[in-house]
Structure formats: C-alpha cells, structure tokens
Amino acid sequence: MEPFRTHTAVAAALPQANVDTDQIMPKQFLRGVDRAGLSAGFLFDLRFEAPGRPRAGFVLNRAPWTEAGILVTGPNFGCGSSREHAVWGMRELGVRCVIGTSFGGIFADNCARNGVPAIVLPAEEVQRLMTLAADPARCRMTVDLDAQTVTSHGDGRVLAFAFDALRRQMLLAGLDAVGLTLQHAEEIRAFERRHFAAQPWLT
Amino acid sequence: MTPRTLYRRIVDAHVVRRLDGPATAAPRDPAGARDPAAARDPAPAAGGPVDAAQPGGACADGAAMPGDQVLLYVDRQVLNEYTSPQAFAALHAAARPVWRPAASVAVVDHVNPTTPERTARTMVLADADRARQVTTLGANCARHGIELYDMLDARQGIEHVVASEQGLVLPGMVIAAGDSHTTTHGAMGALGFGIGTSEIEHLLATQTLIYRVMRTMRVDVSGRLGPGVTAKDLVLALIRRIGADGAGGHVIEFTGEAISALGVEGRLTLCNMSVEAAARGAIVAPDDTLFDYLCGRPKVPTGARWEAAVRAWRGLRSDDGATFDATVSLDAAALAPMVTWGTSPDQGFAIDARVPDPAAQPDPARRRGMARALEYMGLVPGQSLDGLPISHAFIGSCTNGRIDDLRDAARVLRGRRVAPGVRALVVPGSSTVRAQAEAEGLAQVFIDGGFEWRQAGCSMCVAMNDDHLVAGDRCASSTNRNFEGRQGAGARTHLMSPAMVAAAAVRGAITDVRRLLPD
C-alpha cells in the first residue's frame, strides 16, 4: 500500500447526505476481475450525462476541482454496498483523503486499506471546510496524518483530528496488513487448537 | 466479571491477540481545534439513538472495549463472484496459500440469470465480463479446494439465504463476507458483518481480521406485530426512527417479546436490513426457536456434538445488567405496514401516512436530500402512496426471498391475479427455497396469479444480471435498497414487505395489504 503522510490538494465539496456506493460506483462498472480502470465509473451518474458527455455543472467537472485530491462529504458518505470498487475508482481518480461527519463503515475500512484516510470531524468543522471547498480561491487544504491536522489554506486554520492509532501507523508506513498478521501465524494456529478443542462441532 | 453483552462475549471468544488501544486524540491542540474527542465519538444525529448510556467503565477483566483493535478469528466466510476475484489475485501475486479452505464456501449469486429454465444451456452468460467472473470464481475455488455452489448446483442461491439454510452459520460464530448484508447471520446468534475485498484477501490468507471493537445498541421491541405487519415493517420502522446512519459504529442486539415471537426467517430479515441503519452487526440471542430451525440442516452437527453444542449455545446471551452504549425501544403493536417514499431506506413511513414536506425539515442537508428524493421519485409533499400506480412488482432478495416470505405473499395472491400492465416477478432466495415452494404449491399460486416464477439469485435487487428496470419504472419491491438507480438507471423503488408487494401487484397500485388479508 502506498504510504500516506501528508497531502496538499484542492478539496471539493459533496454536501449531499447518504451518498451510497451504488452511486459512487454503479453496477455497470462491477464486471471486472481486477482493480484498474474504475476511475471512469466514480460518481458516474453525477459526473456524466452519458459515457463521454460530462455534466458541465458538476463540481468535479469544473476548475479547479477537476484536480480535486480531497473530498469534503455529507454525512454517511459511502453507505450501502461493501464494494471496494468505490474506493479503487476514487483513488485512481486522484482522491487521497475524504473528510466528513460520518462514513459508511465498510467504506471507511476499505479507504484505510487503500491508503486513503477517512477523517471524521464535528459537524460545524465539516461545514466550515465545506464552505471553503466550494470557493475556488480558498479550496486548498493540507491533511497531515503524522501530526493529525487538517490545514485549510483558505482561512489559515489548523484543525486537529482523532484517528485510530493502529490504522494511522499502517497508513503512515504503507504496511502490508496481511504480511504483518502472518508474523502472528503461530498464535493463530494456537488459537485454532484451543477454539476447536472447546467447540468440536465447529470442525 | 463485569456483565457482558452477547456481542462482547462473541468477540472475546475470537480474540487471537490485542493489537492496540482505541483511537488516539490529536497529539497537540493547535489553533482551531475544538474538541478532538468529539471527532472520535460524534454525538448521534437528531432522531438518533435515545437513552444513550455512559460507555462502560475501565476494563478490569481483560474484555475487549469499544475502539480496541484486535486480531479477530473468523470461523466462516462466504465468497461471491464479484467481490472475491481481486482478493484471490492479490493472494496469488504474493504467493500466499489460503489459510483454511474449509472455512470458505463460494456461491454464484449476483450475476447469474434467473431465467425460468435452469440448464447447462441457459446458464451460459452472454455477457463476457460476467461470464469471466463466474469462471474465475470456479477456477479459484478449484485451485484452493474451496466448496462452490455453482449455477447448476441444487444448493445455489443468494449467499446469505444459502448460508443459513445449509447450516453454515452456527450460534457464537464470527462470519464475514464481501457483501454488506452479511449482518443477516446475527439471527443465528452469530456475529456477521460485511467486508471489502482487501479484507477478504486478509481473511483468506490468515483466517483473521484486524478488527475494531464496536459499541453496542440494544433495540428492545415490546408487544406483538399485528396482522399484515412483518419483520420487514419492523426494520423499516427502526431505520426510519434512528436514520440511515443511526447505528453507525454499533452492533445491535434485538431483544423483547416481539423478537422472541418472531420466527428465524423474520429475524433474518431484521438483522439483514439493520445494515441500512449503518449497523456493523445485528444479533438475536439463540433460543429454542433457533435450535428447532437448525436441527437437521446439512452442515449442522448431529448426535452428541449437537447436544454439547446446544448446551454451550444456551449460554450465548447478554448478562443481566450488561451495559449497552445506546438503547432504542419500539412497540410492535403500534406498527402498521411500511413503505418507502424516498431514495434512502430511512425515508419510509406507515402506509396511511402522507409524503412529508421538505420545507418543514429544519436541517438544510436533510431538506435538500428530501427534495432531491421527491424529484427522483416523482412525488409531491402531502401525497398519499396508497393508490400510487406501479409498473413492476418484485419479490425476492436476501432480505425477503425465503419460504416464509413466499408463503406470506401467496396468502395474499391466492385466488387473485396481477393487475393488467404490471410485470410481476418472484425470484426465490435460493434453489432450495424454490424447490420447497414448488412442493408446497406456492409456485402454482404465483404462476396462476400472473407472476413470473424464476430461478434463484440477487436479480432485480441489485440489477447486476439481466433483470433490471428502466427509467420511469415504478416498482413495489421486497428488497433492501431504494437508492437512485439501484434497480436500473432512473427507476423508482418502493421498499415494502412481500405481502405488501403481492397486494400492490394485485391492485396495480401501492395499497394496504390488510384490506386483502383473509379473515
């Protein structure tokens, strides 16, 4: 996984509540057996009238947000289906961080597994960042995962955020979670012996 | 020992090792930081859980606490054709074996056709991409020795329906799968939750997940459901009450008289759709109703092992005095059949209610969401849905594609016909359900009534095969998501119980099923 330490980029505002992963990555893009090429599907019906015909009014189709690398989202962004395709497509499009009051739980986990921190902030702070993100002159932000701060260049404020300690370490170092876990292989085997001895009906 | 919830009991029994403490607050307090702790544990939104209790005290007995990171052992995973291929590919790229092939079962369910005939000929997928997903799953299962219920297998069906009817999920287990509706399995007294593909890879390689311990929410349902009111109505009422993110970060335990009185299939519906309130799991404590359901199923232990298992399973309950992080109370007797009017599962109401006015909603984001939903759905404030014409009726899905669901719908349909101009489909949740419905004569009721009687799969719930709607279609649907475009771009979905769908199909318009029920 590509490490995430700090990321400075244009932030785009997507204020709608409950944007589900069916909207983030519609079904016609779920036919593959690999992870590549999914940026074309990201928020497809919001971004495009038809394949190759962008909706001129949609934020990600307008400068400077065509270069957006951070999304400030409405509540419960990424709810619904577990499809990790949603995150693969978002990441491929260049988004490295999402900020909101809450996220779909599986979506947030998927983000963490793809080098994309999902940062939860209080509603009034998300609203402030949303307002800045909607202003082309003030929409640049820096997310520093090491320091756990979001700097909004538009108003010069530095805001601290909380984050799972382990998830933070893994993102900062770009760790391979499977490899890390396999260092405990002997403990897993010992657990299995106890678990199945106590509950023989599981085998 | 501190009294424990059932959820904590199951988690504690699956901790291989502790990994780390809860979220760290920000290391310093720069200008602009208000309250970092608030970000870790945001207050529930308006309309959210009530009676929120204080989180439990210090952890004196080594039990896992909310926010703890643990290496969690997973007993069982179910794989499907569209979320597993990239997991296998990553495993192969790293030259890692599958840790425990016997823990996995694979099912083709999302992309397979549901044509009425199921033969080697009809199960050739014309779409090359979908066909590759199916052949890739088959090849991966063959390579690693994983049991596969392929399209022509008599056990094929929607993964969550198959798992319980085959006895693949037992009380006290942890089960994870690459599908959000894996919460379904809480009805078996197990902890089930959906995961992404990277975590499927982690599970295949290690049989564990790096897991953050969730908070707990008790949903206590007093009284009994009235005639024509089902588990689907109960869960739609719960989602409406707490919101689409109301159980975020929580695992629900359902308790109360109404839950004890529900059959296992009703409980499966309830736990299945709890994810639409953002729950990360939803559990019902095992009881004799469940043991009766399990006994004799193909993968369930027999003889002395069964006896020993049931003795152990009777201990799977929350201790008296266990503390939940939130509690919600509902009165089953006060509920009416529910229907959704919007494009989020929390945008629902009782059939006799009227479409709400966004102008009355004080929160601007919610107001915009309501207005957008009404525009998409072609509805106006103050309108009644009772009498709203439909073009399609769909009975099926992992929420409501089981035998009890088909019995409920057939009871309404018997002796009646689908209204002219309505296309009505029944897609059983599994091939086993289909066979049983045929044996009971239910299939004939649907066929005589003008429904298409189809083969099992996810079908028009997720519309990833050829079963989908087109723009402007309006569907009475027993499924779980009314999202924009879920059943087809521009199509309008009204979620309701299978009996309500049957009633709507007969009348050609959404209606109160209680008018059509036999005395």
The shortest C-alpha distance from A164 to chain B (Å) reads: 4
- Any A CB within 8 A of B109 CB: no
DSSP string for residues in B4-54: --HHHHHHHTTEEEEEE-SPBPPSS--TT---HHHHHSPPPPTT--BSPPP
Give the DSSP letter of residue B332: G
Using the predicted structure, report yes or no on whether residue B24 has a pLDDT greater than 80. no
Encode pLDDT of A8-53 as tens digits: 999 999 999 999 999 999 999 999 999 999 999 999 999 999 989 9
Using an 8 Å CB-CB cutoff, list chain A residues near B31: 157-158
- Any B CB within 8 A of A149 CB: yes
Chain A neighbours among B 231-250 (CB < 8 Å)?
Answer: 244-245, 248-249
With tokens 């719960």, the residue in question is B238
> Average of pLDDT values for A99-122?
98
Using the predicted structure, report yes or no on whether residue B122 has a pLDDT greater than 90. no
Domain that residue B495 falls in: 336-515
| Helices B442-449/B403-413 angle, 10° precision | 50
The shortest C-alpha distance from B227 to chain A (Å) reads: 31
CB B49 within 8 A of CB B246: yes
Encode pLDDT of B27-49 as tens digits: 444 443 333 333 333 333 333 33
CB spacing of B369 vs A187 below 8 angstroms: no
Domain ranges of chain A: 6-175
Encode pLDDT of B359-413 as tens digits: 999 988 789 899 999 999 999 999 999 999 999 999 999 999 999 999 999 999 9
- Find the CB nearest A201 among B30, B244, B308: B308
CA nearest B38 in A: which residue?
A122
> In which band, very low, low, confident or very high, does the pLDDT at B26 lie, cut at 50, 70 and 90?
low
* Chain center to CA of A25: 13
With tokens 């919830």, the residue in question is B5
The shortest C-alpha distance from B253 to chain A (Å) reads: 18
Encode pLDDT of B65-106 as tens digits: 999 999 999 999 999 999 999 999 999 999 999 999 999 999
- Structure tokens given for B82: 């569209």
> In which band, very low, low, confident or very high, does the pLDDT at B23 lie, cut at 50, 70 and 90?
low
- Any B CB within 8 A of A145 CB: no
Half-sphere exposure of B352 (CA within 13 A, CB side): 5
Determine the pLDDT at residue B31. 40
- Any B CB within 8 A of A138 CB: no
CB spacing of A165 vs B23 below 8 angstroms: yes
Q: Is the pTM of this model over 0.90?
A: yes
Encode pLDDT of B211-222 as tens digits: 999 999 999 999
Determine the pLDDT at residue A46. 95
- Find the CB nearest B366 among A17, A158, A179: A17
Encode pLDDT of B476-503 as tens digits: 999 999 999 999 999 999 999 999 999 9
Determine the pLDDT at residue B374. 98
Q: Is residue B420 part of a domain?
A: yes
With tokens 């099926």, the residue in question is B396
The shortest C-alpha distance from B466 to chain A (Å) reads: 11
- Any B CB within 8 A of A53 CB: no
Determine the pLDDT at residue B62. 65
- Any B CB within 8 A of A173 CB: no
| A6-175 CATH choice from 3.40.50.300, 3.30.420.40, 3.40.190.10, 3.20.19.10 | 3.20.19.10
- Any B CB within 8 A of A186 CB: no
CB spacing of B69 vs A166 below 8 angstroms: yes
* Pair type for strands B392-396 and B423-427: parallel
- Any A CB within 8 A of B519 CB: no
Determine the pLDDT at residue B365. 79
Q: What is the identity of the amino acid at B129?
A: D
Using the predicted structure, report yes or no on whether residue A128 has a pLDDT greater than 70. yes
Cα end-to-end distance, chain B, whole Å: 52
Using the predicted structure, report yes or no on whether residue B59 has a pLDDT greater than 90. no
Which residues have CB under 8 Å from A88's CB, separation 6+? A35, A36, A38, A114
* Count of structural domains, chain B: 1
Half-sphere exposure of B495 (CA within 13 A, CB side): 32
Determine the pLDDT at residue B279. 98
Encode pLDDT of B167-202 as tens digits: 999 999 999 999 999 999 999 999 999 999 999 999
Encode pLDDT of A144-193 as tens digits: 999 999 999 999 999 999 999 999 999 999 999 999 999 999 999 999 99
- Any B CB within 8 A of A45 CB: yes
Determine the pLDDT at residue B363. 85
- The DSSP element (H or E) to which A45 belongs, if any, is helix A44-47
- Any B CB within 8 A of A114 CB: yes
Strands (DSSP E) contained in B280-364 are 282-284, 326-331, 338-340, 348-350
* Least confident segment among B123-127, B291-295, B319-323: B123-127
Q: Is residue B179 part of a domain?
A: no
Q: What is the mean pLDDT of chain A?
A: 97
Q: What's B495's domain CATH number?
A: 3.30.499.10
- Structure tokens given for B403: 């035998």
With tokens 């929607």, the residue in question is B158
